Copies of this chain bind each other. A is one copy, B any other.
Amino acid sequence: MQQVPTSTRRVGMAVVGLGGAVATTAVAGLELLRLGAVGAEGLPLADVEVAGLVPYEGLLVGGWDLDDSDLAKAASVHGVLDHRQIEVAGPGLSQVRPWPAAGDEEFCRNVVGGNTVVAQGRRAQTEVIRADLRRFRETEALDGCVVVNLASTERWPDLTAPALQTPEAFEAGLDADDPAISPGMLYAYAAVMEDCGYANFTPSLAADAPALVTLAEQRGVPVAGKDGKTGQTMMKTVLAPAFRSRALRVEGWYSTNILGNRDGLALDDPASLASKIGTKGSVLDSILGYPVEDHVVRIDYYRPRGDQKEAWDAIDLVGFLGQRMQVKVDFQCRDSILAAPLALELARLLDLAQQRGDGGVQEHLGWFFKAPMTRDGASPEHALHRQEQALLTWLAGAALAEPGPAVPSADEAAPQTRA
């Protein structure tokens, strides 16, 4: 792969679901950063200096969406930006319009739109997606290109279907328009075939298909996922290690989420909801080392909250002498505000991995995900602080590959916000 000075590197970030709240917020954030209108809050790697890590101003965002509205219009619908930010970022956002997407109502019932690929059948659709990526790379004279899936939750496909087991079977499945192949997999396949790193920020199963993991390994393309860890689950992976550290037994953990954005609406489809809750469930037992039988997770669509997701946890602990204690956590967060900067950091890190030649599953990116992909069926690490350590260690190692201006030490405390 061609090497250019980090400071002038141009990396394309092709987003599946570009018109959604997360993607729109990410694009607006890049614009506001470029204009000096916002600080680095929320960007965990803002102060990390590693050779090859493309700066935020080197990211160019494009992508697909079922809705062809330009992002200025999308931003005004999502209600994430404040009045002033819309004014400032508006002109830049209005220049960005999603490419037609490969939607399929079978997989995502509550979200529809007219901006769809005209090609019939899965093979033809992948051809369109691949052509989009090649055009993006050439038109923008990109030094690197990654694909990030920020679409709404799909229904969970059956990963044991024959078409998903090997690259060869997958190719045959595309030709036969095999329904076992989901829309998300089309994008993951296209990314890998075009040598674009791929990250799945949604709970949908996509690059998890054995066929695609093998293909990514064969082609040396980095893949990572799945399901961005932003709100309640992030907190869970912070608190649970502490309870274990203090030997406070978790007798039960009741979690409810209320949110009112498009993601919430998609989750009103029970099949999509099951997919979402599936990725949230196993986190706790894995960290604690024992099963929490009374672990309940609810997600409810509640419009007054809009994009301002609220998560309430009621945690029951048993301490010394078997006596009980309770913790209640009410996290009044903002879904897209938490997710968008993580999506940007993922794009930068995938591009860095591509430069290093690190292909296949990126285990050190587990810090970003509710259900981290692992190699060879290993159990993922879920504790946030150990995931952070793994990421810092990889970053330090990456830096060793070439002489650079700054090398973060794995001993360093944490990715930092600016002073």
Cβ-closest chain B residue relative to A244: B414
Interface residue? A376 (CB, 8 A): no
Interface residue? A58 (CB, 8 A): no
Interface residue? A46 (CB, 8 A): yes
Q: A334: which of B319, B327, B341 is its contact (CB, 8 Å)?
A: B319
Q: Interface code A297-327, partner B: CB below 8 Å = 1, 0 otherwise?
A: 0101011110000101010101111110111
Would you call A38 and B384 a contact (CB within 8 A)? no
Residues of A in contact, count (CB < 8 Å): 82
Cβ-closest chain B residue relative to A307: B323
CB of A367, distance to nearest CB on chain B (Å): 8
Q: A332: which of B84, B290, B327 is its contact (CB, 8 Å)?
A: B327
Interface residue? A205 (CB, 8 A): no
Q: Interface code A228-269, partner B: CB below 8 Å = 1, 0 otherwise?
A: 000000110011011011111101101010100000000000
* Copies of this polypeptide in the complex: 4
Would you call B332 and A329 a contact (CB within 8 A)? no
Would you call A246 and B258 a contact (CB within 8 A)? no
Interface residue? A278 (CB, 8 A): no
Given A300-B296, A320-B25, A337-B321, decide whether A327 and B326 contact each other with a Cβ distance below 8 A. no
Would you call A413 and B328 a contact (CB within 8 A)? no
- Chain B residues lying within 8 Å of A416, measured Cβ to Cβ, are 244, 247, 289
Cβ-closest chain B residue relative to A292: B304
CB of A283, distance to nearest CB on chain B (Å): 14
Interface residue? A40 (CB, 8 A): yes
Would you call A252 and B42 a contact (CB within 8 A)? no
Cβ-closest chain B residue relative to A331: B327
Interface residue? A32 (CB, 8 A): yes
Would you call B246 and A320 a contact (CB within 8 A)? no
Given A234-B246, A316-B304, A329-B328, decide whether A322 and B38 contact each other with a Cβ distance below 8 A. yes
